Structure 1
């Protein structure tokens, strides 16, 4: 009996096992490709997300054509880098922290703080030098935001440089011109080449500290400023959120002698606490942690195009991730009161030693120690000469000795090259 054709078993297709294997391999390859594309697109989206937040301003057209340029490797790898950090005190927009936005005096872009961050080529240390805003300096002719130029000035407060460039506005053009004039002034003052800049306004500081989750720092004396910043704080270990950190950085009434120069050690204390916090949370060594922090903080900062590049920023951050706090130096540039105006300051010889060390990429603490040792030797030699000359005039020795001591005290550097972070005891 014949078997119906439809009931006959169908023959197996040739090479079916090989085809199945090929299909399986293709599926795995497609799945792998999908994962790769997902990861790459995710990274690309994340990169674009962060990069789009950074407000970068190119100021090269506002700088002197004779300034020159430097060849830069990726992320400054193997190269020393100098970054100028400028704090501005405009109250416009989100910076209106004290309700004074309507005042013409505070609505424009003005420089309130300036620090030079030096990272050596071998990334063995971190150095930060504050420049007093009332330091009397020479300010070169600068291009302004409206296309004009300013006249060069001598013996003028340092923060005038930013004001000269910025003029009467607070927009990006004003900030660009203010930064350019400040960089030109800093380079004239120090002999350094400023590679990058970062502008931090009031809102930027608040946002950055909050992105860190707040900071712990040690307050060395009670603060009672109920009239201006409204900051009232007891000495000892304190945890500061962004708003309180801004008050701490700005306060000068109700603490110390009320001078602006006394704010700089507090600002350095805050910077040290921020750095310690970033290190403790692995923001300088872990890419995911760094991304999380950058996502929260970058939108509030203004940076040079080089520093605004996330690859450069991440490269610099991670290159100093292993630097211990004992290798962090925070000082105010050595200065002394101007004899004719106690509210103004003048650079001292020790300042020249600091700038020379940074130019040579050698530790500034060593330069200050060498200068102090030389001064001690010179003082000892002068004292010996005085004693020799006084052998025949013993009745004058007391008065002349007192004068020598007074002269020594008068020229003692105001910079204290300490590397110990007071906030260490608060962790």
Structure 2
């Protein structure tokens, strides 16, 4: 069913859902791609913090690469297989955010497209890369990460038709560690929030949160509204805004003592493909990304419409095909998106 045929109330809810995610995802994309710019200026032993895995599973075919553009899949992982159990119980891993970032052939432009995590699609079979294999099946694209980032790459390539050259993944522990490296963030809550499932118990008023509480606040469903994904987005926005404010106010990047601890936290949070697992490769990516003017960077949500078999899910629209075709052809998408 096309978006135009959905009731006005449903249209507003869906549109709000993805508009409010846009800022969060844009910040994540800037953080994960932009971090290597400063890594190169720090001692090389930070390289040992970064873990890597295969870009693709098996010998599956990848979309043809027409030009020398660079496409990076950025994954925000909600895996629960972490060092602590501070974020509640859960099994497996899903991509809580997925962004396809395209750097043009001449490095003059970046087009970044967020793929909604609840996008329904026919996912390709994926061979075992260490987290198990999966058969071809219909499901939400975020579930592909259960079998590892290589399966997310396969799913993204299947959905978009765009060849992925690299992936960068950041996890829950990483988010919390980054907040702690900033000495916490300041939030002001209108009312107390309590959620046993998220290990969240916060009083009302202004307070400084460490990484564990900041993440719990961003992810709680049961302490706000009707317990839906939409209800928690106001808190997510507040947390991300606070991270940016804290980073600016504490002058993290201009103080060597803070810079090293911050970069140590970030690099320890990343998993990348084997092609990025070196300081020189990260430096090359950093140099390319940092050379693009800010006004030549476009962030957009993948054009979508409600899934015909489940109104709480989405599918890509015909407008999305036009966006991904433009990326494949290394053409700007700015005039194709809102």
TM interval, short-chain normalised: 0.5 to 0.7
1:106-134 Cα distance to aligned partner (Å, 9 max, x none): 24x31141322414235555544332332
What is the correspondence of 1:17-166 to structure 2 with a 5 Å cutoff?
A: 46-47=43-44, 49-60=45-56, 62-67=57-62, 80-98=69-87, 100=89, 106-107=90-91, 109-121=92-104, 122-124=106-108, 126-145=110-129, 149-154=133-138, 156-163=139-146, 166=147
What is the correspondence of 1:292-303 to structure 2 with a 5 Å cutoff?
A: 293-303=262-272
1:337-370 Cα distance to aligned partner (Å, 9 max, x none): 334423322222332233234334444332115x
1:180 correspondence with 2:132: no
1:157, CA displacement in angstroms? 1.8
TM, length-normalised to structure 2:
0.67
What CA distance in whole angstroms lies between the structure 2 residues aligned with 1:250 and 1:147? 25
Match of 2:162 among 183, 192, 198: 192
Rg larger for: 1
Give the 3-state SS of the residue equivalent to 1:92 in structure 2. coil
For structure 2, the 5+ residue unaligned runs are 1-39
For structure 1, the 5+ residue unaligned runs are 1-42, 73-78, 101-105, 167-177, 370-427
Q: Which has the higher contact order (CA 8 A, sep 6+)?
A: 2
Question: Are the counterparts in 2 of residues 264 and 332 from structure 1 also a CA contact under 8 Å?
Answer: no
CA change 1:273–1:227 in 2 (3 A) is same
CA change 1:140–1:330 in 2 (3 A) is same
More helix by share: 1
More strand by share: 2
> For the aligned residues, what is the CA RMSD?
4.4
1:376-411 Cα distance to aligned partner (Å, 9 max, x none): xxxxxxxxxxxxxxxxxxxxxxxxxxxxxxxxxxxx
Greater alpha carbon shift after TM alignment, 334-343 vs 221-230: 221-230
Question: Are the counterparts in 2 of residues 162 and 179 from structure 1 also a CA contact under 8 Å?
Answer: yes
Give the 3-state SS of the residue equivalent to 1:351 in structure 2. helix
Q: What is the aligned partner in structure 2 of residue 172 from structure 1? A: none
Q: What is the aligned partner in structure 2 of residue 305 from structure 1? A: 274
Question: Are the counterparts in 1 of residues 88 and 197 from structure 2 also a CA contact under 8 Å?
Answer: no
What is the correspondence of 1:338-357 to structure 2 with a 5 Å cutoff?
A: 338-357=307-326
TM, length-normalised to structure 1:
0.55
Give the 3-state SS of the residue equivalent to 2:43 in structure 1. helix
1:204-257 Cα distance to aligned partner (Å, 9 max, x none): 1112333355567999x989454543275889x997643344224423344455
1:137, CA displacement in angstroms? 0.4
CA change 1:367–1:69 in 2 (3 A) is closer
1:332 correspondence with 2:301: yes
What CA distance in whole angstroms lies between the structure 2 residues aligned with 1:120 and 1:55? 24
CA change 1:146–1:309 in 2 (3 A) is closer
Give the 3-state SS of the residue equivalent to 2:286 in structure 1. helix
What CA distance in whole angstroms lies between the structure 1 residues aligned with 2:319 and 2:154? 22
